[in-house]
A and B are shown apart, each in its own frame.
Chain A
Amino acid sequence: MVNAIFIIATGLGTAFLLGLLKDEWRTAAYGITLAALALMSWIAASWVAALAWGGAATVDIFTAGTEPPFAINLRMGLPEAVLTLLVNLASLLAAVYLRDTMFKQGRRAMAVLLIFAMALCGIILTRDLFNLFVFFELTVISTGGLILLSRDKRALGAGFKYLIASQVISILLLVGIIFSYHATGTLNIDGMASMSAQLLQGGSLAFFLMFIAIVAELKPFPANGWALDIYESAHPAFSAMLSAAAGSAALFAVDKLLLIGGTQWLPVATAIGIVSFIGANLFALAQNVDRRTLGYSSIAQIGLVLTVLGQRDILGDSYLYIAGGILLAHAISKAGLYWLSGLVEGRELTAWTALRGRPLLIFAFVTFLALLIGLPPFPGFYAKWDLIHTLAAQDRIMLLTLILFGALIEAGYLFRWFGYVIKREQTTERVACTPHKVAVVYGAVIAGWTAAYLWGNLSPHGNLLHTLPLLFALGFLLLEWLPVWIKNTIAIIGLVAWFILGFPDYDPLQLIFAAVILIGGALILLSSYHVQGRRIGFYPSAMLMYAGLAMLITADDSFSFFAAWESLTVGSYFLILRGKHSEPHALSYIIFSLGGAFLILAGFALASQGVMDFQLQALGQVTEPLSAWVFMLLAIGFMTKTAAIGVHIWLPGAHAEAETDVSPMVSGILLKAGLFGLFMLLMNMGKQQLYGIELTHVMLWIGALSALLGNLMAIFQEDAKRLLAYSSIGQMGYALFGLAMMNHLGWLMALMFVINHYIYKSMLFLSVGGIAKRTGTREMYRMGGLITLMPLSFIAVLIGIIAVSGVPPLSGFGGRWIFYNAIMTADHRLPMIIIFLAGPIAFLYLFRLIHTIFLGQLKDEHRRLKEAPFWLILPQMIYVACLLIFAVVPGMALRHVDSYLNQFFPNHGLNWEGLTITSSFGYWSPISIMLVIGTIFATVLAWLLFVNRKAQKVKQFNMVFAAERPYRPETTHYAWNFFAPYRKALGFLTQPLVTRFWEALTDLLHSLAELLRRFYCGNGQTYAIHLLGFVVVVYLLKVGL
């Protein structure tokens, strides 16, 4: 191993060497700089390799040939190695990125950059307090220099503000150091740590000063106005280093200091960290300048790591894994994002639309956002999982809540930004694509994925990047250059193959879900053949969703369940976002979903009580009173996905605005994930009581209300896809209701809904999508009379609505029949009333759907329409066949499930003997019904044909119309506000109270952020006052009070 001191020596030596070169030899100077940074990186990398895999031990490096504490010593352990590697790599990439600037500014600038990198390594490596101070001052000064590289004139002011603040910091730090020295007689950190008891008697105040000074270097909220200004105005390459490298180094310094301070200072670190995390994220909400947003986000992330540092007393061995995971994810993503920002001309968040023409850059952007938010399979995900679990196990619930809340806000503005990029009107500015800059960005992407892989390997839960479905989904990223039909075929084969592979291992319940997800997914994908071109971004997202779903149903332990859950959430978000006007809806989808996911995470964490390998079956062993809380968290989490009333507002927009073949995926299939989760939950935990209230009873009410309000809102929609979307809320309400009944038939009904809802909702979305494609509108009143032009779509919708409404003889009736039998044994009767009210309302919107589209008056502009494309019709016809078959032989699927459910509810199962299905209360013979109705219908039809065989087809306006002949289809098509009387009577129930509630909440957060961020008045002097105020307040809170 090369002595780690050579990192410092190389940096410094090269910086000095540059002075020997003539000012004109810029290429040589630049080459030397790069070589030096590469050498430094290589040294760090070789240490990482040796310490992580080579079995090398942590090394102390003495200087001056004297042992510490009498001379300065350095230490190279695994964390140091990783961090120095991070710093050096970031600097190397920054140097590459800064090529043009470097050439312009000359060797001095290069020297400053080298010293900056060296000083950060020094902060990381040194074990001497005063030496730490020296390196800090070096970073301060080199920061001052590097700020000058910016083309932004405002950077000067920002740099000056920074210097003011750092003056205050260094004064405090020096006073702290000297008194600490006085108290312990040493400057060595380890020496002080071993004497911490003594120090704390005489010098806790001295320690406070040191601590607060170093913490202030982390730019804690709210004493960080200067930092934000730098982030905003400095050269992006430098902001990247400041955020990624300097932040990491400063955090490590705090970590060292906490060694001295001991456990009693951990809560202080935690408090400062969490306040920063939430405060900065909140303020970021109101930002629309990209670099400032990233600045806030940096502060937030560093705050989060500080919080983790403050939890080291409980984190034990996983401390480095967690803190490192979050820190690394932050560093890579933030550096990458800043580098990206250098490619974009405009400074508004919306200016990033310029990236849109470049799929690879978009991919980079997505990677960075995912890293930052902590989505699987990135390190932050594993780290967050372990962190939350440990917090829950140690009863630090408040902190857990705050962390998740902050993370949600963060995800909110980051995803909002992503939505802007994908959906907002593109600016005319192009991306400034100099190859070396782009290469640097890709370097960060590679680093991100490498980190993801490494963290996965280190994780005790197994590497997500080793799971086949995820790899399959990610593999589509490499196939993006292929045309749609090839990718589509591969996707379909993949889904079916995975189903066949898993088939022997599924239990009946899983089988039903697997069939809906995989086979059903493949069926829907058939419709994707209608798309031409390459459809970039569709397949990775769709397959990610399917991968998540496929992994969800086979998950055994809570970790793989949650990882699958997040994967499908993210995948579906990207899918939904593809719709033309779906930006706000996709955003609300992802926020609600992530909120739900966090609740699930919290639920699992509470349930596991520190057991890292937590089997889902063990949910049943969670004891009172914890179990009720676990149940509640998980249930709410799952219900967000099924769009139960109260958390449903994301669904209509998301489903309606999605692309034609995406709507059936997210409606027909994705909603089932929530149901599966609820199944899993109820299967393992059963009934739970909280303060004497039966929670399943509450769910019963929620289900009933969802059914009622979902249906009610559906009837007032003018937009066909929105109507279907609201109908999904209602349908999911039914399924939820069935589950919550906690009896055999209730569950069977819920399963029946799983299958039925998949079939008919997919079919209806496809038909409506095809029609919208042809007519160019989704407003139903603009259509009409399409039955003759699009007969196949009509048949699909007709069969679909008969099935949805539950009218015999189609399969929907089976659902209703089981439902009635189920409620006969249910414990609670009152919620039934609401469900009863909801039932007939379904007729209203269904009739409206078919009537206003297909019947009534054909519009002039539609007279030459053709039937929907073949590939949209094909799956619909398959669904029609399925519905008919399922209507006649429902037992095919259900009897196995029925017997499977016997293990949970032995009583009140169904009897499948012969052709008639019997329950304890009634009977039902699907084949007979079909035959009887068919016969009667055929007879009557034959009779009509006989008496009325010469009927003549007449023209559209040939009708009895109060002595006039109508001549405009628009005035004759009764379609708009179809159920006006209903609105008069019950419209008050559809007041968007829930929407208003959530809007008020987000508005509140936004206006809070908008108001409070005026605190950052821009005056450097005031910032210094903030800093001193921060010191005094922390002092009062910690020492004084």
Chain B
Amino acid sequence: MEFEWIKIPYSLLTLFIVINFGLLLTALIQKIGARVGRRHGIPIYQNYIDLIKNYAIRSSITHGFMFYLGPVFRLSGGVGLLLFVPTIYGSEMFSNLSFAGDLILALYFVFFGALGMALGAGESGHPHAAIGVSRGLSQMTAAELPFALAVFSVALQYQTLSVTDIVAAQQGGVLNWTLFTNPFAVTAAMFSFLGSMMRPPFDVVLAPQEIPIGPPTEYHSSYLALMQTNRVIFPVAKIVIYMNLFFGGAASWPVFFLKVFLIYMVSVFVGVAFPRFRVEQSIRWFLIWAMPLGILAIVLV
């Protein structure tokens, strides 16, 4: 796999598709969530309006250098994550920039945006931002563990770290999916997935329903717009990894849309049914329920 210039427009195309899909998907998910709560919810195009409005707002202030760069880090992290993983299996066109690195690159690049974001939020000097970061990082460390174990288990199972190779190994029928060949790993990973989607019961980091808290507290206008952009790309990018590792990947865009939607729905189902955990509760939960499954997955492979 070598770099060719044509990969750049191809990647941009992927990005474009994913942004639009993400904008609609998150709105749809919002709406589903609202309907479960007997509310009307937002219109499906609401995200477009928000985005345009925020990018267009003129009044903007900055708390400093790092504050300014925070959203840039965030969005670069989301875009990079998306582009480092092949989106559509078997398609040269949508394998994006995955020549740069394998699964490990994607795993670690997840933190790039989070780190930059946290730093930016930190410079705002707002204690709520710092509290959010503290909670977010604490919870993340516990939530990532089962996922890491699952990934390792899967890598051991297929004896490769290349995403493409892992997807390739799952072709030829639903039963070849990791979901069925290594159910423990997938369960562990899905538990972890719940933790990383910022939805209940693990949404204390942002605490969206109450006071404004969490890293974005001080962000507004175009900063917020960049973050919103990321917030539609990032979950999709993340789900793409799950899809590729555990659910046989996607060989075409329709399959892609469907699988991403369904995987996203897992967190929605759990989210609407359960109340919120405090951070230390969620840490314990991950260590007690998810981690043993991950260990089992590794031992049994």
Contacts and interface: CB of A to CB of B under 8 A. Distances in A.
Interface of A: 785, 787-788, 791, 798, 801-802, 805-808, 813, 816-817, 820-821, 823-824, 829-830, 832-833, 836-837, 839-841, 843-844, 847, 850-851, 854-857, 916, 919, 921-925, 928-929, 932-933, 936-937, 940-941, 943-944, 947-948, 950-954, 956-962, 972-975, 978-982, 984-986
A963 to B, nearest CB: 11
B72 A940 contact: yes
B238 to A, nearest CB: 16
A978 B115 CA distance: 16
A837 B125 contact: no
Contacts of A916: 1, 99
A855 B79 contact: no
A843 B115 contact: yes
26 contacts: A785-B125, A787-B65, A807-B109, A807-B111, A808-B108, A808-B112, A836-B149, A837-B141, A840-B145, A843-B137, A921-B160, A923-B101, A924-B104, A929-B105, A936-B80, A937-B76, A940-B79, A947-B222, A947-B225, A950-B60, A954-B62, A954-B63, A956-B125, A973-B125, A980-B134, A985-B279
A941 B60 contact: no
Interface of B: 1, 3, 55, 58, 60-66, 68-69, 71-73, 75-76, 79-80, 83-84, 97, 99-105, 108-109, 111-112, 115, 118-119, 122-127, 130-131, 133-135, 137-138, 140-142, 144-145, 148-149, 152, 155-156, 159-162, 211-212, 217-218, 221-223, 225-226, 278-281, 283-284, 287, 291, 294-295, 298-299
Contacts of B281: 985
A940 B185 CA distance: 36
**Majority secondary structure of chain A interface residues (helix, strand, loop or mixed):** helix
Nearest to B71: A944
A836 B148 contact: yes
Given A923-B101, A940-B226, A844 B61 contact: no
Contact of B99 (A824, A833, A925, A953): A925
Contacts of A956: 125
A985 B280 contact: yes
Contact of A836 (B109, B145, B155, B212): B145
B102 A951 contact: no
Contact of A950 (B58, B72, B149): B58
B76 A816 contact: no
A952 B62 contact: yes
B104 A981 contact: no
Contacts of B111: 805, 807, 843
A847 B118 contact: yes
Contact of A847 (B84, B115, B124, B144): B115
Q: Which of A802, A924, A985 has the most CB of B within 10 A?
A: A985
Contact of A981 (B105, B123, B138): B138
Given A956-B125, A975-B130, A802 B115 contact: yes
Nearest to A952: B61
Contacts of B83: 932, 936
A161 B212 CA distance: 83
Contacts of B109: 807-808
**Majority secondary structure of chain B interface residues (helix, strand, loop or mixed):** helix
B161 A840 contact: no
Contacts of B221: 948
A981 B279 contact: yes
B122 A981 contact: no
Given A820-B104, A928-B101, 9 more contacts: A807-B108, A807-B115, A829-B156, A830-B295, A854-B66, A855-B119, A925-B100, A928-B99, A972-B126
Contacts of B105: 808, 813, 817, 924, 929
Given A921-B159, A929-B100, A947-B222, A851 B108 contact: no
Contacts of B123: 787, 854-856
Contact of B125 (A801, A821, A953, A972): A972
A344 to B, nearest CB: 53
Nearest to A981: B279
A844 B137 contact: yes
Q: Which of B111, B284, B291 has the most CB of A within 10 A?
A: B111
Contacts of A982: 138, 141, 279-280, 283
B104 A922 contact: yes
Contacts of A948: 60, 221-223
A802 B72 CA distance: 16
A850 B138 contact: no
A936 B108 contact: no
Contacts, number: 245
A798 B125 contact: no
Contacts of B278: 981
Contacts of B217: 960
A360 B12 CA distance: 72
A921 B155 contact: yes
Q: Which of A816, A832, A851 has the most CB of B within 10 A?
A: A851
A700 to B, nearest CB: 14
Given A851-B130, A948-B223, A940 B141 contact: no
Contacts of A953: 61-64
A398 B95 CA distance: 67
A973 B280 CA distance: 22
Contacts of A824: 155-156, 159, 161
A265 to B, nearest CB: 61
Q: Which of B99, B137, B152, B155 has the most CB of A within 10 A?
A: B137
Contacts of B155: 820, 824, 921
Nearest to A801: B115
Q: Which of A854, A925, A956 has the most CB of B within 10 A?
A: A925
A950 B61 CA distance: 8
Nearest to B153: A829
A984 B135 CA distance: 12
A807 B58 CA distance: 34
A805 B115 CA distance: 10
Contacts of B159: 824, 921
B103 A922 contact: yes
A657 to B, nearest CB: 27
A813 B108 contact: yes
Nearest to B162: A922
A-B residue pairs, 6 tightest by C-beta: A922-B161, A855-B122, A922-B102, A981-B279, A840-B141, A974-B130
A951 B61 contact: yes
A972 B73 CA distance: 25
A1035 to B, nearest CB: 64
B100 A855 contact: no
Contact of B76 (A940, A947, A962): A940
A950 B122 CA distance: 22
B126 A850 contact: no
B218 A960 contact: yes
Nearest to B163: A922
Contacts of B294: 833
A737 B92 CA distance: 39
A829 B83 CA distance: 31
B145 A817 contact: no
B152 A832 contact: yes
Contact of A941 (B72, B100, B125): B72
A960 B112 contact: no
A943 B291 CA distance: 41
A406 to B, nearest CB: 46
A970 B65 CA distance: 22
Given A932-B80, A974-B130, A855 B125 contact: yes
B149 A843 contact: no
Given A787-B65, A929-B101, A982-B138, A833 B149 contact: yes
A475 to B, nearest CB: 47
Contacts of B125: 785, 855-857, 956-957, 959, 972-973
Nearest to B294: A833
Contact of A972 (B79, B127, B291): B127
Nearest to B285: A985
B108 A844 contact: no
Contact of B118 (A823, A851, A932, A979): A851
